[in-house]
Homo-oligomer: A and B are copies of this chain.
Amino acid sequence: MKPLSSPILDEKLKEHVLIQYLSRFTTVSEEDAHILLENLDVRSFKKGDILLREGQISPWCYFVLKGCVRQYYLVDGEEKTTNFFTEGTPINLYEGFYKNAPAKYYLVCLEDSYLSVGPPEDTSHPLATKFEPVCRLSSQEESSKYQEMLAMYMIHSPEERYLNLLKTRPDLIERVPQYYLASYLGVTPETLSRIRKRIMSK
C-alpha cells in the first residue's frame, strides 16, 4: 500500500465539496456536517501518486475534494485511459471491498489532489444509519450515470465524443494532456489532433 501523506484540516474545502455533494441526496444539518467533517480523513496527494495498481486488493474508497485522478488499464504495455475523476466525484472500488478481488486497473493522480479516504461502509460511524439511504441514492445515480456514459460512447463517433466532452466537461480539455484525452476518446493522439483541426476550420 502506498504511503499516505499527512491529513489536512481545511474545513472550508471539505464543506464546499463533500457537504454540497451529500446535500443533493438529503438535508445535512449544521450538526451533521460538523460530525461528518470531524470524522473525515482528508489527505493530500502529489501529481503522479499511485492510489491503486493492477492486482492490488484495495480496501479504500475515495472522494475527490480537489484535483484529478486518472483511471487506466494496461494492455500490451499500453496505458488505456478510461476515466477522469474530478472535484465532487466518488471513487468506489467495489471489487476490492466487496468481492475481495484484485483490481484490473490503475488509479493515478494527474494533479496535486485532496482526497477524502475511507472504507465505504463504516457501520460504527455515528451517522451510518442516517446516511445509508444517501449511499443508496448516490450509488443509483452513479449507476445511471455510467449506463448513460456507456450508451453515449457506443452511439457516437470519436469526433462526436470530443464535441460532447467540450460541452459536458470543458474543464478536462484544459487540464488534461491531449494524449490522455485521445486514449479516453478511443483514438490515437494523431487522430485527436486531426479531429481538433477539422473542428477549428468550421
Binding site for B on A (CB under 8 A): 71, 73, 75, 80, 82-83, 92, 94-95, 98, 104-105, 120, 132-133, 135-137, 139-144, 146-151, 153-155, 184, 186
Copies in the complex: 2
Would you list 29 pairs from A and B whose C-beta atoms are within 8 A, ordered by A residue? A71-B151, A73-B151, A75-B155, A80-B151, A80-B154, A80-B155, A83-B147, A83-B151, A92-B140, A92-B144, A94-B140, A94-B141, A94-B143, A94-B144, A95-B144, A98-B140, A120-B140, A132-B133, A132-B136, A135-B136, A136-B136, A139-B140, A139-B142, A143-B143, A143-B146, A146-B149, A153-B153, A154-B184, A154-B186
Interface of A is mostly: helix
Which residues on B sit within 8 Å (CB–CB) of A75?
A: 155
- Report A22 CB to chain B, min CB distance, Å: 15
Q: Which 9 pairs across A and B sit closest by C-beta, in order of nearness?
A: A94-B144, A139-B139, A136-B136, A146-B146, A143-B143, A82-B151, A142-B143, A150-B150, A139-B140
